Amino acid sequence: MRFISIILCCFSLVLGSSIAMADSPSLNEMLPAYAKAFAGKSRVPFQIPHPELLEVKKLDGSISSLSIVDSYLSGIYKDKANLTHRDISMVSMLAGAYIGQTIISTSKKGHQWILLTEYAKKHPATKRSEPESVYTEYVLTNKAESLSMPINQVAHYLDSGKPFSANDYALEQLK
């Protein structure tokens, strides 16, 4: 089952579709698998762009390791013109999942992944400010039920170059 979930996740990344979103029971397996793939701790049937820019040995799930993520994302952004939409999607999902998992593992606020559609059912006033996509559907919430979107933050940075620091973002979520 785990192998099938990982293949389904990879299939979703490769096609840029939201197939995996329909499988919400595997949400808390899928995003940690993305984070592990980003950190080089699991094998996946694809390679992230410019792996030489990512010091995977330093990705230990700590807040301090997010400076490595920032450095990698900066390098990716500088080469954005040579990357495909698929490359940007993979980096957004994998790096965003790593940032989210880092927040979850260090949080005392009970952070967890949830689908935005599920969150909106409990909070009808929630308005989607971005088009529905894989970047905006996977979100973090905590015991106070605040919402954050690490995957979307990475995608925004890679799309616009708007300043973003994974380290600062995580620290803000943990306050």
Structural domain of residue 49, as residue ranges?
A: 2-174
CB 66 within 8 A of CB 167: yes
What confidence tier does 28 reach under pLDDT thresholds 50, 70, 90?
Answer: confident
What confidence tier does 122 reach under pLDDT thresholds 50, 70, 90?
Answer: confident
With a cut of 60, say whether residue 90 has pLDDT above it.
Answer: yes
Better-scored residue on pLDDT, 21 or 61: 61
The count of structural domains within the chain is 1
With a cut of 50, say whether residue 173 has pLDDT above it.
Answer: yes
With a cut of 80, say whether residue 45 has pLDDT above it.
Answer: no
Q: What is the pTM of this model?
A: 0.84
With a cut of 70, say whether residue 147 has pLDDT above it.
Answer: yes
With a cut of 50, say whether residue 20 has pLDDT above it.
Answer: no
The least confident of 2-11, 38-47, 80-89, 127-136 is 2-11
CA distance 75 to 56: 15
